[in-house]
């Protein structure tokens, strides 16, 4: 572990792999519906940031692992904070779709 490893952010690709390896996890896209339609990570569920309270219908168990992304990481950071304040115990902001290098579904 290097001196500045704490500055290194996990890439969204690493976050997607972690999501895939986590049983029962949900990959949450908090971008707008149009952004999601234009291209998204396969298997992701779209609940825009301004409707984040709807996660309760998707994940009623607050221990459900949630992996959250948006376009650049800003909205997903906000969503992760809101979800944690709402009592979700396993929330991870994996960053921005703009840096994703895997398969895209349209």
Indicate whether 2 pLDDT > 60: no
| CA nearest neighbour of 30 among 6, 46, 13 | 46
Per residue in 9-68, pLDDT tens?
568 999 999 999 999 999 999 999 999 999 999 999 999 999 999 999 999 999 999 999
Q: What is the pLDDT of residue 82?
A: 98
Q: How far apart are CA 16 and CA 12, in angstroms?
A: 6
Q: What is the pLDDT of residue 10?
A: 63
Kindly list the distances between the CA atom of residue 53 and the CA atoms of 8, 29, 31, 96, 101, in Å, as whole numbers in the listed order: 31, 14, 14, 21, 29
Q: Tell me the domains of the chain and their CATH numbers.
A: 11-99 (3.40.250.10)
Kindly report the pTM of this predicted structure: 0.91
């Amino acid at each position: 572990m290097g001196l500045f490893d704490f500055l290194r952010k996990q890439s969204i690709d690493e976050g997607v792999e972690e999501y895939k390896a986590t049983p029962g996890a949900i990959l949450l896209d908090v971008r707008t519906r149009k952004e999601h339609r234009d291209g998204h990570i396969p298997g992701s569920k779209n609940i825009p940031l301004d409707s984040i309270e709807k996660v309760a219908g998707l994940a009623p168990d607050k221990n459900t692992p949630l992996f959250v992304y948006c376009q650049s990481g800003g909205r997903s950071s906000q969503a992760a904070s809101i979800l944690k304040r709402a009592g979700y115990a396993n929330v991870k902001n994996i960053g921005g779709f703009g840096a994703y290098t895997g398969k895209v579904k349209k």
